[in-house]
Structure 1
């Protein structure tokens, strides 16, 4: 986990940009948190970690350090030993589609859709009361393009149940209209 200024796609400081480039160069799988999005976390993490600056890089919940330490680990070859490596794309897509029983790939996230189709499908899924997870395809171009081939479905949003493609907005609307959506989401059809 990388606590950074900005996002991997849009770092908001040079140190954050460098650490993202280094992790990507070494094909390290990581998640990130934009410390500018939550001042309480931004300040609290400094105390929690006894580390006063950002970025902060964690592996398995333990602080590894900032940019300088990650650079040293990369140069010594230790970085690859302590961090998970990126899987090939098909393995990664399979893992993502199975991340939750109901998984929605869309433009945006559960809290904020970034297109009309994504907004509509979120409204429909939220109305069912069934738990689901989301993946913002705008955050990862490799997943965005790869999932189209993987699923043989050229558009977004894409809805998966137990790793199997259900379809996009039109299919979900049809399932809702015929009263089958809840059963499909529960994996009963």
Structure 2
């Protein structure tokens, strides 16, 4: 809970709320005043009057109470926020098991993400990842959307499971295996990904932060012709990364698909752009 409170204290949406940490035994008179009988306990105070409390390490309940009692900076509902929520829902449901983390499985950018990846790998789980460091809108928006203020966040079948501590408890209790979806064949999964949108790009990284020069150039070309497309970061899923090469009989990335059919990699896309065929092809698909 201390980690959660520290994260919340840095979040701009709670800029009008003051977060304080108190050692219950060190200040017995304060513990008595607010009726503290166990730790951790989070007390919400307005004008020196206790208005609510959360007992135990209950993050969702804490977030619910905060939203009830504490003003959120810039909380007006806007069109972009609605669009972001739609995007978050799609991301959460983009794979049966998806981990929102800092970095990627090959290069986690924090200890909690590293431990979570290791634990999922040890359990033999096939999972996708999303690097929240590459997209600040997702990073901030998902905290509010899921009512969970820290990362990593693990979702199964579109439902939030929680962070590292909850995952550890579920694994230790034996519950985790029963929560996992039945594994579909890789061919079925690849076909579903390829047909997720009329134009799909399988690349290294994201359009906002491409992780290789070829992917970066491909993004630039698609932007120049005004293409609307979906993408899949193959660095976040090694199974897809390796198996798609065999499935499509194309050994490199990026790979561009239109209406479920492979068009090719960067060299072919360059040729199609120069000949004028690319714009017509993508326009027909959108």
Cα RMSD for the two superposed structures: 3.4
What does 1:32-181 align with in structure 2 at a 5 Å threshold? Answer: 32-34=130-132, 38=136, 41=139, 45=143, 49=147, 54-59=151-156, 62-181=159-278
SS in 1 for 2:104: coil
In our comparison, the structure showing a higher alpha carbon Rg is 2
Counterpart CA distance in 2 for 1:169 and 1:149 is: 18
After TM superposition, give the deviation of residue 142 of structure 1 in Å: 2.9
Deviations 1:140-167 (A, max 9, x none): 3332222221111122221101211011
Counterpart CA distance in 2 for 1:129 and 1:40 is: 23
TM-score (norm. length: structure 1): 0.75
After TM superposition, give the deviation of residue 101 of structure 1 in Å: 1.0
After TM superposition, give the deviation of residue 124 of structure 1 in Å: 1.7
Q: 1:35 to 1:59 in 2, by over 3 A?
A: farther
After TM superposition, give the deviation of residue 60 of structure 1 in Å: 5.4
Long gaps (5+) in structure 2: 1-97
Is contact 2:248-2:262 (8 Å) kept? Answer: yes
Q: 1:126 to 1:86 in 2, by over 3 A?
A: farther
Q: 1:147 to 1:3 in 2, by over 3 A?
A: closer
SS in 2 for 1:114: coil
After TM superposition, give the deviation of residue 104 of structure 1 in Å: 1.2
SS in 2 for 1:170: helix
2:129 matches 1:31: yes
Counterpart CA distance in 2 for 1:116 and 1:185 is: 22
Question: Is 98-107 or 4-13 further displaced after alignment?
Answer: 4-13
TM-score (norm. length: structure 2): 0.53
Is contact 2:154-2:160 (8 Å) kept? Answer: yes
Q: 1:77 to 1:107 in 2, by over 3 A?
A: same
Counterpart CA distance in 2 for 1:43 and 1:132 is: 22
Counterpart CA distance in 1 for 2:215 and 2:206 is: 9
How many residue pairs were aligned? 187
Counterpart CA distance in 2 for 1:107 and 1:64 is: 27
Deviations 1:7-46 (A, max 9, x none): 3332344433222222232415343443696499469838
Counterpart CA distance in 2 for 1:81 and 1:54 is: 23
Long gaps (5+) in structure 1: none
